[in-house]
Structure 1
Amino acid sequence: MLPLMRRVRPPVLSLSLLMALPLTACAPANAPLYCFADPAQVWGVSPLPADAQPECPDSDTVRGEVRSGKTRIEQFALPANQAETILKLMQGAGYAVVSRKPDDGIQLEAILRKGGDQVMYFAEHQPGRTFVTLTGTGQGE
């Protein structure tokens, strides 16, 4: 029985290894910024501020929605207390604030619109940084 297990086990291990390769290829530390058309831009309308670090969600579901064109998302880590930095860039690029909840010290929320492009803006205060998320549907305008 032992020789049979040895013959069966290597193919199972090989199959497991092959199945794990796509997961390791998508590891966040090595993954490209899949959610950005241009990581040097904010939503494709303004240069990225020097102190902003672009990020993408570590979610296979979000990754799939972005790649299929159903969802658009960009995330940025900024120094603390910069909840309006990206918001002001979006406004400077012609996006109007159509709805806004005031910054309550926890987060700032706004809905922005330019033409047919609607963007949800969330700026979350985190220890030592501000984390901004922009979301929309499809490719915008």
Structure 2
Amino acid sequence: MRFALPLLLVAALLLAVGIWFARESRWQRPLYCFAVPGQVWGVAPQPAAAQPTCPDSNTVRSEVRRGDTRIEQFTLPAGETETLLRLMQSAGYAVVSRKPDDGIQLEAILRKGDDQVMYFAEHHPQSTFVTLTGFGHTD
């Protein structure tokens, strides 16, 4: 009995440290910007050909962590400027503004309810680089 309270306190401390580590570890990972790993904007499964990335910037990392901004980036095969755009539309996002693909990039603004997403798909020589950005996200 005399060890019950200290053991209980140690268990509570270990639990608190575990919870803290689980929450904080996201911000140290390379894919820190993805709220739902393996998903596009948390609304659809990530296509197999899409390689996720996050900006390598402490400023952006801080903005995402604070909830001020949201960003996801993907590298896709060359010419796939509309792959993720169609995926977002299938998830219920409407295109409210779009600039035609000019051979350099495709730009669109998507909206679903209060969520507004800026979509940029840049042509690179061997790939397509897609960036989705929006206002902070509260979970």
TM superposition score category, shorter chain reference: 0.7 to 0.9
Partner of 2:48: 50
**Equivalent residue of 1:88, what SS?**
helix
CA separation in 1, counterparts of 2:29 and 2:125? 25
Q: Name the structure 2 match of 1:24.
A: none
State whether structure 2 residue 93 is matched by structure 1 residue 95.
yes
User: 1:111: which partner in 2?
Assistant: 109
Q: What do the CA deviations read for 1:55-99 (whole angstroms, capped 9, x no partner)?
A: 000111100000000000000000000000000000000000000
User: What does 1:1-141 correspond to in 2, within 5 Å?
Assistant: 31-139=29-137
TM-score by length of 2: 0.78
Indicate the structure (1 or 2) with the bigger Cα radius of gyration.
1
Aligned partner of residue 123 in structure 1, secondary structure: strand
What is the CA distance between 1:127 and its match in structure 2?
Answer: 1.3
The residue type equivalent to 1:43 in the other structure is W
Superposed CA RMSD: 1.5
Task: Tell me if structure 2 keeps the 8 A contact 1:80–1:128.
Answer: yes
Counterparts of 2:130 and 2:119 in 1: how far apart (Å)? 7
Task: Check the 8 A contact 1:39/1:54 in 2, yes or no.
Answer: no
- Give the TM-score, by structure 1 length: 0.77
Q: Where has structure 1 moved over 3 Å in runs of 4 or more?
A: none
Q: CA deviation at 1:37?
A: 1.1
Q: CA deviation at 1:31?
A: 3.7
Gaps of 5+ in 1: 1-29
| C-alpha deviation, 1:140, in angstroms | 6.6
Letter in 2 for 1:38: V
Which residue type is aligned with residue 73 of structure 1? I
Structure 2 Cα separation of the partners of residues 64 and 53 of structure 1: 23
Aligned sequence identity (%): 76
